[in-house]
Amino acid sequence: MTDKTPHLTAAPAKPIVVYDGDCSFCKFWISRWQRLTKDQVTYVPFQEVPEEFYGISRKQFRKSVYLITRYGQRLRGAEAVAVLLKISGYSGTWNWLYHHLPLADKIAERSYRLVADNRNSFYKLTKLLLFAKS
């Protein structure tokens, strides 16, 4: 019998966010998160990590942002964003809601999936809304 368990690497010294480096929407938000988190978090496009990085496939990286915590947890999608906001000091509220309010996690993940599946449209909408304020 073969072991099909993905190879896991030791937990990183600081959290790592892995994102789609070919996605304009992703790069826009990663840039904003980098300003918030400063040097507390490492950001790397999935295109630059080895195959099965922390046991996560390229197919999985294409679908969602991932946050690998200092404890080796692999969080993805809306949960990764909520925890990243808490790490940044920007807002722990989203993280608390995600983990404590009934159905909040399901609503957040469905919303995340809607955005992730329509990144180009949401990138244009984001740029329009943010630049309309200035």
What pLDDT, on the 0 to 100 scale, is given for residue 53?
Answer: 94
What pLDDT, on the 0 to 100 scale, is given for residue 132?
Answer: 65
Does residue 134 register a pLDDT over 70? no
| Beta carbons of 77 and 64 less than 8 angstroms apart | yes
What pLDDT, on the 0 to 100 scale, is given for residue 4?
Answer: 38
Q: Pull the structure tokens for residue 63.
A: 């679908």
| Beta carbons of 42 and 12 less than 8 angstroms apart | yes
Distance CA 17, CA 87 (A): 12
Q: How many C-beta neighbours within 10 Å does residue 84 have?
A: 24
C-alpha to C-alpha distances, 75 to 63, 84, 123, 128, nearest whole angstrom: 13, 10, 23, 30
